[in-house]
Amino acid sequence: MSAPSLFEPLLFPCGASAPNRVALAPLTNQQSEEDGTLSEDELRWLVRRATGGFGIVETCAAHVCATGKGFEGQLGVWSDAHLPGLRRLAAAIAATGALGLVQLYHGGVRSPSRLTGQRPWSASEFEEEREGFERPRAATEGDLEAVLAAFVAAARRCVAAGFGGVELHGAHGYLFSQFLSRTMNTRADAWGGDLRGRARLLREALRQVRAATPAGFVVGVRLSLEDFGYARGLDLDESVTVAQWLAEEGADFIHASLWDVHKSSLKYPEESVLPRLRAALPRSLPIIAAGKIWTVADAAATLALGADAVALGRAAILNPDWPREAQKEGFTPTRGPLSAAALAERAVGPRFLAYLRHFPNMVEEG
């Protein structure tokens, strides 16, 4: 079967669709207010990408409970006080024709006490050699019951706000990824041990969110498939099995966060990750892939490997009209670094600008 065009609609198993196959990746931007409510800068940032032609527009990782916060300026979905801003955002994205998704998140060990006022918890107690690391306590049954309820309540708020769907953040070493990890999850009960136990929390969250949301509401999952950065203790074959289970539980897409779609698998150096994932999943289940996709050629090559859509991060920050411009002959995306003024013209607010200074080739010095 030939690869789809980037500019064909993308159909999800629930019956919903996106107008094209170019997504704005869920990007930390630190622009929400400290209580988690939407700011004007974050609204402007996301809607600018929607008007630029992105068929799917995802929010940053939005925390489902106050104690799951991982970043300053993080969007919240844990209180009805967040609903007015969420409604504004959902309506503004929908008005452009894009599919708006909220990424639902709990940081687990990566929810520091300086933000939450509480010791972080995770699958197990463990140590990491990194600055500022706080040894987490092991989750209790009460913690797990409460966090599942928080994901369900957050998803219901997203429905009430008018979003088209949600994505459960199971990647990047956050809570679900910590439970999937063989090194972070050393539990001996039904929430750990073998892969089935380690995947239980994510699968249960998907089941409960799926059951609590209406037909036609998109519910997907983002996964790290192998070790990278904070995600560790992951095995590709296990991750593919988890993706298969999620498909059985009713996922509408799998978002493979690869960091670099051009790289080969760690486990199978002669292979790309995407063909193995594609072969394991029903053809009707879309795969979204992210990782250093800049050009139309990069995106087309990613689709040829088995993805059904691409998610752009840094390319979308610097090129808010990427999908519209990509349909023109000879389109060459802008690469950084760009001046603060040029980024402001691209709807990057002051707090996001300060955050981007931590990344190479994004903001001009001086």
Nearest in space to 251 (alpha carbons), one of 294, 291, 203, 298 = 203
* DSSP assignment letter at 109: G
Give the single-character DSSP code of 108.
G
CA distance 272 to 266: 9
Number of residues in the chain = 366
Residue 254 pairs in a beta bridge with 221, 287
What the block records as the tokens of 208 is 């409960």
Q: Where do runs of H (alpha helix) occur along the chain?
A: 40-51, 83-94, 113-116, 141-161, 175-180, 195-198, 200-212, 236-248, 273-280, 296-304, 314-318, 322-325, 340-345, 350-356
Choosing from 174, 230, 268, 355, which is the catalytic residue? 174
**Residue 174 catalytic?**
yes
Q: How far apart are CA 59 and CA 99, in angstroms?
A: 11
**Residues 284, 51: Cα–Cα separation, whole Å:** 28
In the three-class reduction of DSSP (H, G, I as helix; E, B as strand; rest coil), residue 105 is classed as strand
Q: Is the peptide bond before 360 cis (omega within 30 degrees of 0)?
A: no
Among 278, 279, 307, 277, which Cα is nearest to 293's?
A: 307
For residue 119, give both structure tokens.
């010791």
Longest dimension (CA), the chain: 57
Q: Please state, in angstroms and rounded to a whole number, the distance separating the CA atoms of residues 174 and 177.
A: 5
Give the residue numbers marked as catalytic: 174
